[in-house]
Structure 1
Amino acid sequence: MHQHPQRTIDRARRMLDERVWPAVEHSATPLQITARRLAGEPEPFDQATAGPFEPFTPGSRWGEPWTTTWFRLQGAVPVGRAGAEPVVAVDLGFEGGPGFQSEGLAYRADGSILKGVQPRNHYVPIDDQLTMIDIYVEAAANPDLAAVAFRPTRLGDGIDVDGEPHYRFRRADLVLLDRDVEALAVDLDVLIGWAEQLRPDEPRRAKIIRSLGQACDLIDPQRIADSVPAARAELAPLLEQPATASAHRLAAVGHAHIDSAWLWPVRETVRKCTRTFSNVLSLIEDYPELRFACSQAQQYAWIEEQQPKLFARIAEAVAAGQFVPAGGMWVESDTNMPGGEALVRQFLYGKSYFADRFGVEPQEVWLPDSFGYSAALPQIAALAGYRWFLTQKLAWHPTNKFPHHTFWWEGIDGSRVFAHLPPVDSYLAELTPAELQHASTNFSDHAGAGTSLVPFGHGDGGGGPTRLMMERARRQADLEGAPPVEHLTPTEFFERAQADYSDAPTWVGELYMEAHRGTYTSQAAMKRGNRRAEHLLREAELWSASATLRTGADYPYDALDRCWKTVLLHQFHDILPGSSIAWVHREARAAYDSVLADLEQLIMTALTTLAGSGDTIVRFNAAPVPADGVPALGAAEGLAAGSEAPIVQRDDDRLIIDNRTLRMIIEPDGTISSLIDLRSARELVAEDARLADLVIHQDLPNAFDAWDLDAFYRGSATPIRSLDSLQVSESDGAVTVEVKRSFGSSSALQTITISPGSDRVDFAVDVDWQEREKLLKVVFGLDLRADESSAEIQFGHLRRPTHDNTTWDEAKFEICAQRWVHVGEPRFGVAVANDSTYGHSVRRIEQQAAGRPGTEIGLSLLRAPRYPDPDTDQGSHRARYSLITGAGIGDAVAAGLRLNLPVRRITGGAAPEPIVTVDGEGIVIEAIKLAEDRSGDLIVRLYESLGARTRGRLRWDIDGDRAEIVDLLERGSGTCDVVDHGVDVELRPFQILTVRISAPGVTR
């Protein structure tokens, strides 16, 4: 009888979903349930299970937001169960898919971990020969914040013991599983999937549909188990047909993307890792072919500290090659906002941990979910021993489809890594036919490459790979019409892919993500805390190393290690970017406060030691450029004599300030309408524009509040010109103008400072921010034509267009910069430096009367998205920024360093000489520290900052006559010719160079 193809597919799908899958489980016997509710934070097993347990009835509600309930499940295991596998089925009240809701962890009565309990992964195995069941389930009532569809919610504030229970406990039963019926279900699942994916005119599809119909005829809905042999025999020939030799091949890598914080606090991430990793270890027992890639050394460290027995099992699986430490970073961090040295430490700390604990060194950078990738990353990765790079997030581009899936990625210095963007467009794949078909048809490099990677497994608390996924993989390992699936480690995939496609195309520069641009600005306290911590770490290492080498003081290895790991954790791609719940950011603010205080103490201890006793003011400059008369990386006594104070005049209520280098006019409303560089007699302010103009915008992105900033925000620009007061004062020869404004429910105090003879105007703004869904920018409208801007990135800078010639150009309406941006004409440039801002816009502006374009630089100061934290950035904030006139790139570099590393004053005796100096145009010292191996060796990291080849000489004023070039993990790669305590260096554009000076002693 002729069967309509779609009707047959629908019939088979219904048979599978309504009859066959339910028949896998039978003979359910309810277990006795008792429960203990914890009102506060989670407790360890011994403590939690020692308290009283009360009777609990299935169907009852449990779980106020973020609380924990322990359930004890008890009962007898039936005898005479031949052919069936007994398991405990637990349903905590799961709704929808995996992750983002209640989760559980099952323990034996002795406290050893069995596995996690999640949707689609809720069976708990029973030990062989067990006659009585006694299992504890630690159940976390995590609210489903994803279900609110990105609307404002208070569920992210913290534990709510007075809230309504969120979940209804459905069942805890002892059930028997029929694995033969399960096998039939997977056969049907795979073949139905391919019948849906293959083209209507493909003969293979017609054969599958015919067999599906015949299999359905053979299945007796009332006696499913008895129907298995005949139905599977009907389907078997179709599952035995091999794939074609030219089929695209897929490398299946088990994965469980676990955000180290996001819609849950860090403490819950630890438990998510515990549940997921225990699931993987359980699954490996039945599927030894599984290769599970897990990055983020921080997550392993949490397990090592809190679940040492589970960690020991992980170590065994790592040694067996099944549990694979991947990536090698401390966390899967953002790469736009962390400074250069912080990215170095992400790799240094991550790789060192994996080497120390497991004896492995990952060679792939594994960042599937970060929000764009710095053009400095290829060099940093290569110098840390990496060969490959993987991401998934570029698949999110809403405007321009990224043109490659396998390619060489080249950074600003010319370094390259072999990169892959999995065409499956997911890091949460389930190995369904639809996903595999998409991976094959979507792949853009078929002409030269034959393999792509598929990361599969439920993430963020979903439990990782499942038995169903593994069974799908087995059936699709070599299946006609499907891309063959093979389980590989990331290393095995990349080695094969690179050998297959070594002549892949090259992408040069940043991997800019055309989405999530708001993360450069959301949660300003994260940005301010990160920036300040990075620079205090630089100071703490420099002055501590100086104190050790000058006086023999102890170097604070352990304290610096703790501070660095705190900072690295908070660079995770949902913490520093500001896209987590309120709880996460509240804890992060406290963590930053603590680490900043610790670093200030380390710095003061070292400086006091260096300055010695006395009553002289000794000034210390941690910047690698001179500042206020203090040499780079050194100290000076006393204060330099000041120049004449700027002249202040009033003209028709306008304020005119002249410091003999600059002449500035401030209008009665407190805005800067003119700034003339007297050296070049050049007006900087564009027609009808202002400098440092506060502008507010509507900020209503179409999706992903905290993440996105949509281009249409620019259509609602409203300059804040209302004036509460304007005051002028003078201090130490500098003139400061204070402008107070009120707007909406907020207020701002902007200070404008101009110092004697300086080519720089300094600004600070203190904002009491009480707006919602608004964006606050400070804008500099410049009478300067620039087709491109230069923005500092890690270890260099990047040029980007200011025009909208192409959709690729237009998409970069908001860019990320580190400490400065620069625009310029051939003989005149302007830089804007900042102390805590990352989001910038640089665009052309039309000067109609002038008949020529100008350039506008905008710094994004504050946002007010309402999801996932409805009170984002409400409160007080401070930002500082400087405008430098007549500036080249070198001036911009120096200004950014000085602003972020201000000179310190200490009362003491002498001003010690710098322990390290360097000469050579454009050479910047990034870090001075003692080696991580605690040998006492001195590490000096420097780079070329201007984008030009240069020569220079590195000198050290300490004992130490041997030096070598080392990689970022401080391993030797070549000796240096040391002459008179120094080495000559030659650097390529933006090259990073790390020098290790062996076993230096106390100062000569």
Structure 2
Amino acid sequence: MHVQVSSILGRVDRWLGEYLADAVTAGSAPLDVAAWTVPGEPGGAGEPVAFADVPDPATFAPAVPGFEWGRPWGTTWFQVSGRVPAGWAPDDRHRVELSLDLGFDGAKPGFQCEGLVRTPAGRVVKGLEPRNHHVPLEAGPGELFAFLVEAAANPDLSGGDDFKGARAYAPTPLGDPRSAPDAPLYRLGRLEIRRVDTEVERLVREVTVLRGLALELSEHEPRRAALLAGLDHALDELDPGDPAAAAPAARAVLAPLRASPAAASAHRIVATGHAHIDSAWLWPSRETVRKVTRTFANVVDLMDRDPDAVFTSSSAQHFAWLKRQEPELYSRVKQRVAEGRIVPVGNMWVESDVNMPSGESLARQLLQGTRFFEREFGSRSDVGWLPDSFGYPGALPQLLRKAGLRWFFTQKMCWNDSNPMPHHTFLWEGIDGTRILTHFPPNNTYSGDMRPTELARSVRNFADHAGASHSLMPFGYGDGGGGPTREMMWDARLQSDLEGSPRVRFGTADALFGTIEREYASPPVWSGEMYLEFHRGIYTSQARTKRGNRRNEQLLVEAELWSASATLRTGAPYPYDELDELWQEVLLLQFHDILPGTAIAWVHREAEASHERVTERLEGLIETALRALAGEGTRSLAVNAAPFAASGVPAFGGAADEAAAAAVAATALPDGGVELASPGLRVVITANGLIAHVVDLASGRDLVPPGLAANLPQLHVDAPAKWDAWDLDRSYRANAVDLVDGTVTLRADGSVRIERAFGSSRLTQTVTVVDSAVHIRTVVDWHERRRMLKLAFPLDVHAQDAAYETQFGYVRRPLHANTSWDAARYEVCAHRWVHVGEPGFGVAVANDGVYGHDVTRDSIDGRVVTTVRQSLLRAPTFPDPDADQGRHAFTTVLAPAPTTDEALRAGARLGAPLRRITGAAAPVPVVTVTGVDGAPTSAVVSAVKLADDRSGDLVVRVYESRGARTRATLRADLAVAEVRECDLVETPLADGTTAVVDDGGDGTGIVLRPFEVLTLRVRGNHT
């Protein structure tokens, strides 16, 4: 039987690949082709060009099949023209269309050349991709036609389908037009007009689907035998010399097999068209703009021809790009949105990384995206949509729900390398207790193609059959591959009710979640973060991009604070438009292949430049607002914007920092070391620059264990098995070098300078003591390859777990490796601080732009040592061969911290620089949050701004930082008419202000649950 099966399959495959493939085309004729290459450096000024700037096609040079075109990242315009053959009269069996092969190869769609077809008048017709390069033609027999094609010579950096080829990980100069070679990448293939035999075309789809289904069934199932026998008999009807003649007869043989229905208990799949498009990755965002255009062109064309087609699309930024670049196509997209066939989802500006952006940044992703969808389409989605982000923090369920989202969709967790997630449909519970219904597609992709093997995988993998019967399958080629195709639509319909297959229907994610809610009465609960056991290197790669993000998200909040205060106090205009523009630029750079450091060199070069421009503009806004608040005068003033209320210290102070720094005594020791002493600490630095002692004078405890030293740089070999910029393999720990050789200099200002050289790099540190904290400024001139630099702090703390700051709170992770889940978290994300403690004592390690950390515990002669390490730098070579080369600067704070409150204060101070201005009086923010009657509070201000609707209302966001219930008082320096709770997108809640308590007019009383985020609209009497 096995021989017979192999024989049948071999026969089917030859017919599909040779005889039937050729017979689909009933006739063809070549086109006239001419070309014009856009001059200038690819990606430079004037390249690519707008349609209006394309010269007269009459000036294009003739091109023939095999014509070489497209230096990397360049653009070539082609004119294709011809006449429909006179004998091609329309009939019920044939279709006339163009087939334009720009030189496509076998690489994955979206990772090679692409094209956009326009009419001579400029109207967008359709995109061209490797598996979707037909162009509809309305001309009749004997009529002339012409089109223009904008062809993008994007190089293939993927290394082949599914990124399994070795060249996927090799350094390449193609990631930046400055280093890419000039030689053309592509040769034109066949550009022709075709007469398509639709009967053969349908036969091809039916044979393909039935063959695929047969291979998914057990060899003992009668249905499998029937399918193979039926395919064999259908081919008996055909003549290899003229397959088209008997195509109807072959289809008739297959008809009973197609008509046999699925089992009543069959799994149900909701199929929705999709085309996940990375906002930048192996291409710059400039190219994403064109990928978006090409994809939407394909989707609109498909919908014009197939009434069943629906399409799910996220990222307000993508719609905004389309509106700006192609307003006519955008109007067609808006019409399909109004019909419910193109469905915007996610309500975010881009599909952001969600581990590293601040809580306020995630709130703005949702604010900016939701506001765009409401303004443009008149509605917002119920579905959170992040299929490709690299893990999901425990703060996210609350943020999604408070932005009005009911459900959450992702699939990335199927990439775990150690522990599979136990469910596909479940309630995800965040750190505050908020739950959101969540679904993973069991076929483990957001870019399905409707093959039987994918449907069968959905059934095999689905972990919740006992309670649920539905799953989602997003299908379509992504990343510029063209989205859903007509072939996928045909295959889905063939499998809609087919014996041996799950049932398939076209629909939307909303419909799927609605069905789940109705049928799944008690879904299981997953509590806390969804840590991705993969891609652990993303917390460190491309450090400059990460530091720029941290700096600018803090400056944005500060600019809003001072600008709102200046507007309400002095009448200065509030910079709504500029703040929107700057937020949107930073939010784009938080995309899940930009902020994680996993894009090509071009992307990160532009990201760093963008961050520098944003910083400059924000500093200007802050200075303007502070000058307006300070007024005319000559007094020297100092202010900052640190939200210190969590520890009982009034917010927005800062002068104390200078006073404390001035009280430090520095003493050179006989052994070449240095002692630094402040009223709070005694610090001993050894002659080679390590920190031997950090004695907390209040408790008498030394933070550093006996015989060990902190501030220890460690260099690791970092050569992951694949995915260089993404992955940090556990094996990196097997190779470590302690960088202990160094020189120490006591400087005149009382600071200590430490210098080290290693490999081709240099490391310089400046150590100071500020009150009860050690500040370490580390500058690295980094020129290593495939290495990782960490900074280690062994601590004399008996910690069971560590607290790591996350958005609007923190997450605790155990320090043991008792389970495979614990062992897999060997590199984790933290924002501004990590805290380790034991009852009555603890230590904070804070940073100004680092995200990757590891914390371990060891026992030395029965004494537990807890080591906190910051991951400062990596040196991957793919996709950017020069990632992180050059100069970097980091600030680390080491401080006694009995609780996480002190850790929060240490981290917040690093992001709130002391600003010196001159004026009449020190600026004071328009809002303060303090404890009730002077009592401590863990309520922290996250944002103070004017409402986006430009009503003049003040928006204040606070959160609970400790994981405990707390009370606080909000005071606004204006005549308050009303304070109302609203959602993250600033819409007042319909059910009142349950979290806000009026305390008699002396401010507004606030009651917060553990880690709760509360957004308030304050309306003044003037509004």
TM bucket, shorter chain: over 0.9
Distance 1:280 1:641 in 2: 63
For 1:728, the aligned partner's letter is L
Report the Cα offset of residue 617 of structure 1.
1.5
Distance 2:118 2:1020 in 1: 51
What are the ranges of 5 or more consecutive residues in structure 2 without an aligned counterpart? 41-46, 160-166, 932-936
Write the mapping of 1:690-701 to structure 2, written as runs, cut at 5 A.
Answer: 690-701=709-720
Q: Specify which of 919, 923, 929 is matched with residue 908 of structure 1.
A: 919
Report the Cα offset of residue 98 of structure 1.
1.2
Report the Cα offset of residue 687 of structure 1.
4.3
Is 930-939 or 659-668 further displaced after alignment?
A: 659-668
The match for 1:759 is 772
TM-score calculated relative to the size of structure 1: 0.97
Distance 2:296 2:114 in 1: 14
Q: Specify which of 67, 85, 97 is matched with residue 87 of structure 1.
A: 97
Deviations 1:70-99 (A, max 9, x none): 111111012332332111111111111311
Report the Cα offset of residue 649 of structure 1.
4.3
Distance 2:486 2:30 in 1: 24
1:837 equivalenced with 2:863 (yes/no): no
Report the Cα offset of residue 658 of structure 1.
2.5
1:988 equivalenced with 2:1009 (yes/no): yes
Distance 1:922 1:541 in 2: 22
Report the Cα offset of residue 441 of structure 1.
0.8
Report the Cα offset of residue 981 of structure 1.
5.4
1:143 equivalenced with 2:166 (yes/no): no
For 1:132, the aligned partner's letter is L
Write the mapping of 1:176-191 to structure 2, written as runs, cut at 5 A.
Answer: 176-191=195-210
Is 480-489 or 957-966 further displaced after alignment?
A: 957-966
Report the Cα offset of residue 39 of structure 1.
2.6
Distance 2:524 2:279 in 1: 34
The match for 2:866 is 855
What are the ranges of 5 or more consecutive residues in structure 1 without an aligned counterpart? none
Q: Specify which of 330, 340, 359 is matched with residue 349 of structure 2.
A: 330
1:372 equivalenced with 2:391 (yes/no): yes
Distance 1:88 1:970 in 2: 50
The match for 1:117 is 128
Write the mapping of 1:529-568 to structure 2, written as runs, cut at 5 A.
Answer: 529-568=548-587
Distance 2:334 2:639 in 1: 47
1:924 equivalenced with 2:950 (yes/no): no
1:409 equivalenced with 2:428 (yes/no): yes
Task: Give the 3 Å change call, closer, same or farther, for CA 117–1001 of structure 1 in structure 2.
Answer: same
Deviations 1:341-398 (A, max 9, x none): 0000001110110111011211111101000011100000010001111111111111
8 Å contact 2:645–2:940 — kept in the other structure? Answer: no
Write the mapping of 1:107-506 to structure 2, written as runs, cut at 5 A.
Answer: 107-129=118-140, 131-147=143-159, 148-158=167-177, 163-506=182-525
SS of corresponding position for 1:917: strand
Distance 1:179 1:402 in 2: 44
The match for 1:958 is 974
The match for 1:749 is 764
8 Å contact 2:647–2:902 — kept in the other structure? Answer: no
For 1:694, the aligned partner's letter is P
Task: Give the 3 Å change call, closer, same or farther, for CA 306–269 of structure 1 in structure 2.
Answer: same
Distance 1:263 1:889 in 2: 40
Q: Specify which of 516, 525, 530 is matched with residue 511 of structure 1.
A: 530
8 Å contact 1:936–1:1000 — kept in the other structure? Answer: no
Deviations 1:876-910 (A, max 9, x none): 11010101114311001111111111221111111
The match for 2:909 is 898
Distance 1:468 1:381 in 2: 35
8 Å contact 2:563–2:622 — kept in the other structure? Answer: yes
Deviations 1:286-323 (A, max 9, x none): 22111100000000000000100010000011111111
SS of corresponding position for 1:445: coil
Task: Give the 3 Å change call, closer, same or farther, for CA 977–628 of structure 1 in structure 2.
Answer: closer
Is 86-95 or 655-664 further displaced after alignment?
A: 655-664
Task: Give the 3 Å change call, closer, same or farther, for CA 854–350 of structure 1 in structure 2.
Answer: same
The match for 2:806 is 793
1:588 equivalenced with 2:607 (yes/no): yes
Distance 1:237 1:638 in 2: 83
Deviations 1:636-672 (A, max 9, x none): 7997587743252413323222224222221111111
Distance 1:162 1:395 in 2: 38
The match for 2:816 is 803
1:878 equivalenced with 2:896 (yes/no): no
The match for 1:602 is 621
8 Å contact 2:663–2:679 — kept in the other structure? Answer: no
SS of corresponding position for 2:37: strand
1:709 equivalenced with 2:720 (yes/no): no
8 Å contact 1:549–1:1000 — kept in the other structure? Answer: no
The match for 1:933 is 949
The match for 2:43 is none
SS of corresponding position for 2:490: helix
Distance 1:957 1:342 in 2: 26
For 1:958, the aligned partner's letter is L
Task: Give the 3 Å change call, closer, same or farther, for CA 161–804 of structure 1 in structure 2.
Answer: closer
Task: Give the 3 Å change call, closer, same or farther, for CA 483–637 of structure 1 in structure 2.
Answer: closer
Distance 2:37 2:97 in 1: 25
Distance 1:80 1:49 in 2: 35
TM-score calculated relative to the size of structure 2: 0.95
Q: Specify which of 38, 44, 47 is matched with residue 53 of structure 2.
A: 47
Is 976-985 or 611-620 further displaced after alignment?
A: 976-985
Report the Cα offset of residue 168 of structure 1.
1.0
8 Å contact 1:409–1:508 — kept in the other structure? Answer: yes
Is 77-86 or 595-604 further displaced after alignment?
A: 77-86
Distance 1:796 1:637 in 2: 26
8 Å contact 1:617–1:638 — kept in the other structure? Answer: no
8 Å contact 2:650–2:930 — kept in the other structure? Answer: no
1:24 equivalenced with 2:24 (yes/no): yes
Task: Give the 3 Å change call, closer, same or farther, for CA 237–639 of structure 1 in structure 2.
Answer: closer
8 Å contact 1:956–1:981 — kept in the other structure? Answer: no
Distance 1:640 1:668 in 2: 28
Distance 2:579 2:951 in 1: 16
Deviations 1:813-848 (A, max 9, x none): 10101100000001110011110000010111232x
The match for 2:164 is none
Instruction: Report % sequence identity.
Output: 49
The match for 1:736 is 751
Deviations 1:566-588 (A, max 9, x none): 00000000001000000001111
Write the mapping of 1:569-584 to structure 2, written as runs, cut at 5 A.
Answer: 569-584=588-603
SS of corresponding position for 1:669: coil
Task: Give the 3 Å change call, closer, same or farther, for CA 38–753 of structure 1 in structure 2.
Answer: same
The match for 2:15 is 15
Deviations 1:725-777 (A, max 9, x none): 3211254xxx310101111100011111013xx22111110110011111011
8 Å contact 1:766–1:878 — kept in the other structure? Answer: yes
For 2:1009, the aligned partner's letter is R
Distance 2:626 2:38 in 1: 48
Distance 2:869 2:658 in 1: 35
8 Å contact 2:646–2:938 — kept in the other structure? Answer: no
SS of corresponding position for 1:998: strand
Task: Give the 3 Å change call, closer, same or farther, for CA 927–710 of structure 1 in structure 2.
Answer: same
Deviations 1:432-476 (A, max 9, x none): 000000011110110001001111000111100011100001100
Distance 2:662 2:208 in 1: 81
